[in-house]
Structure 1
Amino acid sequence: MPVSEGYLGHVVNSLAKPIVDRGEISASESRLIESPAPGIISRQSVYEPLQAGLIVIDSMIPIGRGQRELITGDKQIGKTTIATDTILNQQGQNVVYVYVAIGQKASFVAQAVTSLQERGAIEYTIIVAETANSPATLQYLTPYTGATLAEYFMYSERHTLIIYDDPCKQAHAYRQMSLLLRRPPGREAYPGDVFLFTFASFGKSH
């Protein structure tokens, strides 16, 4: 799929095509949507912090760049709010954000985009979205697209934060595809990362 700096500030689908018209996206490079991750030996250890901007989290649950974190809980308790607030609280930190909305309502995605635009955070954020009415095949590809875009910045020595919301929806899409293809359908979440919150800095895999 195509990758470039031009994706910053855009809302795209799982095929990296713009959903919201904000001009052309020029891309002179491309990356494999399933590329091998660096080995354990070549990765750096987690040594640099990433502040979520929320006192409760930063004081009790220190998060490092290159670390993965899970936000779990019942519906409507503010899991997505924590994720989006982290993006809003990181202005000026030279971090690229990729928010991956898998199988969410279109109104929910639009609300997140509006919130980021009002606070000036959309300029350093990429939103990859496939809504609930999208085909299962496209919902299945969504987290891979987000990871591929984030890896482009990671290998360009830029710190990157990926937010998957919600990997279980990708598992449901995978199940639909597997049943149609008569393959074993059992899986609980997106295999690349079962966590909703993913932090990656350059030199580390997603």
Structure 2
Amino acid sequence: MTSERGGRIILLNGASSSGKSSIGRALLPLLPDPWFFMPVDAINAMRSTVHTRVLDDTEIAEMLTRTRVGYHRAVAAMASAGNDVIMDYPLSERWRVTDLLDTLAGYDVTLVEVRCSPDELERRERERGDRPIGLARSQTLVYAHGEYDIVVDTTETGPDECAKQIAHHLGTPPQAFDRLRRRLTAAG
């Protein structure tokens, strides 16, 4: 099922090191072509770092906000052209959810909660070596919105099996974004 505005979107939401990227890559061969995997880390990797080393904390925060807002709109642009998109993106700040609800209004968005035990997240952080230890545990707001279309848990389940669960679920119309939108509208 495709919305009147274009492509479908799968939003993989989870803490750092929960397995979002691995699941996103594992989904690609399971879904009918073409799907685009657009992780926020790919957008971050496009940014120059030469001048950001001299920015203060406020300037860095503003730059990161602009980057995330641009990411939201890049996904919407791809979907508006009829492309199906897989997002790898933690909903770690309330404004991200609010902006995505506005930016992606009218699109079929399947919200996937990617969960993992705190101990396993920390083990993965140590193994990766590219994230501060404790980052994932600190991302408590990632799941605070309380809505999802499907939950996968990567503590003991690999990305291939999680991807199969998500692909199988895609036959069910997504509803989490609609529930979130109604709840936030009612709260004012």
The TM tier, using the shorter chain, reads 0.3 to 0.5
TM-score (norm 2): 0.33
Name the structure where helix makes up a greater proportion of residues: 2
